[in-house]
Structure 1
């Protein structure tokens, strides 16, 4: 598990990262819920790129599952759990990464906890879900 520490200016960096992400369309392996969204948030908050070595190694759900299995994980949440410490969803803070149920080949997706709920990645960009949808949470720094 990677030891992460939030940078002093993490709030400003997070705001800039969320603005940057809004311009990028969804693309498997480049800008999806893991690589572009969650990894971008972690890097903004901590300066550490957890997507290094994974970006561009898959281009769809089947190849994403292959990458997860090759990394020793049978799910997206298991993959994240091997890299970030898990916290109870009730104790997740702004900028932490979470898991929500999702329709689709992986059955789950990454989200970010913010002050008023959850931010998720959609085909059209960022979307919102209520905090009650949070299944698991992982501390970022």
Structure 2
């Protein structure tokens, strides 16, 4: 696994940045290497912090096969989240703007905590899940 990235600092207006990001991405379709679950979360973190934690993965893959290779080489979606955000915490400790790991029909995925819900990249846009769906979480 790669080295831990420095912790991102949220901008003072991060709540409005997060809300604007969610609204802008609400109908954006899933695309490996552009709008998949990991890059969706990295884009959300970038919106809140002004720094892109996904920069090292952008352009490394464009299809599912390449994405599976990157996931395998980095410990899966949980491994990528841990590289970016540090050790996971209990899902009950996650708050607005934090990251959560969920199960989907396609496998594990990362999601952003948005109030009492989790927002994740779906096939046709953002899909909202209950906070109860979180298996692990990371603070941003």
- Shorter chain as normaliser: what TM range? 0.7 to 0.9
Aligned-residue RMSD, C-alpha: 1.5
Q: How does 1:13-32 map to 2 (within 5 A)?
A: 13-32=17-36
Deviation, structure 1 residue 44: 1.0
Structure 1 ranges of 4+ moved more than 3 A = none
TM-score, normalised via structure 1 length: 0.87
Distance 1:69 1:117 in 2: 28
Distance 1:123 1:65 in 2: 17
Q: Do structure 1's residue 76 and structure 2's residue 80 form an aligned pair?
A: no
TM-score, normalised via structure 2 length: 0.88
Bigger Cα displacement from structure 2, 25-34 vs 52-61: 52-61
Distance 1:135 1:79 in 2: 15
Gaps (5+ residues) in structure 1?
A: none
Corresponding residue pairs, total: 135
Are 2:71 and 2:80, in contact at CA under 8 Å, matched by a contact in 1?
yes
Residue of structure 2 equivalent to 1:98: 100
Structure number with greater CO (CA < 8 Å, separation at least 6) is 2
Q: How does 1:42-121 map to 2 (within 5 A)?
A: 42-70=45-73, 73-85=74-86, 86-104=88-106, 107-121=107-121
Deviation, structure 1 residue 26: 1.5
Q: How does 1:30-45 map to 2 (within 5 A)?
A: 30-35=34-39, 37-45=40-48
